């Protein structure tokens, strides 16, 4: 396998990675999948186990109880909430619903959007996030980038893999530009709940004011439940709602995920705990590595950092390969547009694992 192939290992590809490097997959620590390391809360485990009989029933056809729980959690009307089989089903449903001719993606970003736009016959163009703006964009760049065919703007906020986020006020500027041109804006907030001051960055409150906005979230990362496949979207656009719902299969969320969601969204103790642990580890990791002068950290409102290697002859792929042989899996970002071969992405795990990774990085780079 060449370097260009090695650098495409996704965070969830632990099995493939283990096979390639002849490792025991159960020993690999994945700093690349961005999943919160605390695992499921005790409360969820107990309540879900006690309710395992839900498997013998169909979920609600309209998922009203689950949507009510989400409605309380995100403070948005239940009629504006659509649930899906992971945010992935909703990314697909939204892109199908908009069926964009020309979609703008703030890049580098998560790759699934591009695949979906392509599957629907649309064209996607990258608007580069600017390093000098800590990986945000200038509103004039957006204005100049819009063409008559543009009908969708896609952004991930906080962005994967750059970590930084536009504030709610900055999002308003983008939404106003989009509205002027009749453009729908899709914002993926998969990572927003990790942020200590997430209220400054949230787009959900804006769904009341902007009907050209749809916001997406899921439970895979923050609630450490990627196998559950549960996501949700919030929009006040009747056109989008009916179009997304019309293309969905009935019961696409199983009754275990339906029950788990109802429990998770009210588990305020767990939510606070995840945020606290993330904030502590983010601070520890940055402080430890930054003082060596070999790692540049960019602002992050997520549970991972975009880190630039500096003052070293090691590339991101060298670092990836070196670490993986010690069962430490990070994300080499050299396959992402605009990033070259000196960027890595690292999500926080528990303190002991983070310490091990920090030491391994310091001794190699």
Ligand X SMILES: Cc1ncc(COP(=O)(O)O)c(C=O)c1O
By the criterion CB under 6 A, which residues form the site for ligand X? 86-88, 110, 156, 160, 188, 190, 218, 220, 226, 231
Pick 137 or 233: Cβ nearer ligand X: 233
Pick 191 or 210: Cβ nearer ligand X: 191
Shortest CB 294 distance to ligand X, Å: 27
DSSP string, 206-274: GGGT-TTEEEEEESTTTTS-TTT--EEEEE--HHHHHHHHHTSPTT-S-HHHHHHHHHHTT-HHHHHHH
Pick 347 or 358: Cβ nearer ligand X: 347
Provide the 10 A C-beta neighbour count for residue 280: 13
Pick 146 or 230: Cβ nearer ligand X: 230
Shortest CB 128 distance to ligand X, Å: 18
Residue 355 near residue 285, CB atoms below 8 Å: no
Which positions ≥6 away from 81 have C-beta within 8 Å? 67, 70, 71, 74, 232, 233, 234
Residue 325 near residue 345, CB atoms below 8 Å: no
Shortest CB 248 distance to ligand X, Å: 15
Shortest CB 149 distance to ligand X, Å: 25
Q: How far is 116 from 183, CA to CA, in rounded Å?
A: 18
What CA dihedral angle connects 345, 199, 155 and 339, to 10 degrees? -30
Pick 59 or 161: Cβ nearer ligand X: 161
Shortest CB 314 distance to ligand X, Å: 26
Shortest CB 72 distance to ligand X, Å: 20
Q: Which helix (H) or strand (E) holds 90?
A: helix 86-98
Shortest CB 160 distance to ligand X, Å: 4
Place of tokens 């689950």: 66
Shortest CB 94 distance to ligand X, Å: 12
Pick 100 or 108: Cβ nearer ligand X: 108
DSSP string, 257-279: HHHHHHHHTT-HHHHHHHHHHHH
Estimate the share of the chain in helix, then strand, then coil, as percent rounded to the nearest 5.
Answer: 45, 15, 40
Which of 136, 132, 100 shows the shortest CA–CA distance to 119? Answer: 100
Residue 117 near residue 103, CB atoms below 8 Å: yes
Angle between helix axes 112-119 and 86-98 (nearest 10 degrees) is: 40
Pick 228 or 358: Cβ nearer ligand X: 228
Pick 220 or 301: Cβ nearer ligand X: 220
- CA 17 from chain centre, in angstroms, equals 22
DSSP state of 88: H
Pick 188 or 258: Cβ nearer ligand X: 188
Shortest CB 166 distance to ligand X, Å: 15
């Amino acid at each position: 396998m060449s370097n260009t192939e090695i650098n495409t290992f996704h965070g969830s590809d632990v099995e493939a990675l283990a096979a390639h490097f002849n490792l025991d997959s159960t020993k690999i620590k994945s700093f690349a999948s961005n999943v919160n390391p605390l695992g499921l809360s005790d409360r969820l485990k107990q309540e879900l186990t006690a309710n395992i009989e839900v498997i013998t029933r169909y979920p609600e056809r309209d998922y009203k109880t689950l949507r009510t729980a989400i409605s309380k959690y995100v403070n948005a009307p239940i009629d504006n909430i659509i649930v899906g089989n992971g945010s992935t089903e909703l990314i697909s449903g939204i892109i199908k619903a908009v069926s964009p001719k020309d979609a703008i993606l703030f890049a580098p970003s998560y790759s699934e959007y591009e695949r979906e736009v392509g599957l629907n016959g649309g064209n996607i163009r990258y608007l580069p996030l600017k390093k000098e703006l800590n990986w945000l964009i200038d509103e004039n760049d957006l204005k100049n980038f819009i063409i008559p065919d543009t009908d969708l703007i896609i952004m991930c906020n906080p962005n994967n893999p750059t970590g930084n986020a536009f504030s709610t006020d900055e999002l308003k500027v983008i939404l106003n530009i989009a509205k002027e041109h009749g453009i729908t804006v899709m914002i993926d907030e998969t990572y927003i709940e990790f942020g200590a001051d997430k209220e400054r960055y949230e787009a959900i409150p804006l769904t009341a004011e902007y009907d050209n906005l749809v916001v997406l979230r899921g439970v895979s990362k923050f609630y450490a439940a990627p196998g559950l496949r549960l996501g949700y979207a919030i929009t006040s656009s009747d056109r989008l709602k009916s179009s997304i719902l019309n293309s969905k299969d009935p019961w696409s969320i199983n009754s275990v995920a339906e029950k788990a969601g109802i429990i998770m969204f009210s588990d305020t103790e767990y939510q606070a705990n995840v945020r606290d642990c993330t904030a502590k580890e983010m601070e520890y990791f940055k402080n430890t590595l930054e003082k060596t002068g070999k790692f540049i950290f960019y602002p992050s409102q997520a549970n991972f950092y975009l880190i630039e290697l500096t003052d070293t002859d090691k590339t991101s792929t060298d670092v990836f390969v070196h670490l993986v042989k010690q069962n430490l899996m990070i994300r080499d970002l050299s396959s992402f547009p605009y990033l070259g071969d000196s960027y890595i992405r690292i999500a926080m795990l528990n303190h002991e694992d983070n310490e091990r990774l920090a030491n391994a990085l310091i001794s190699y780079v």
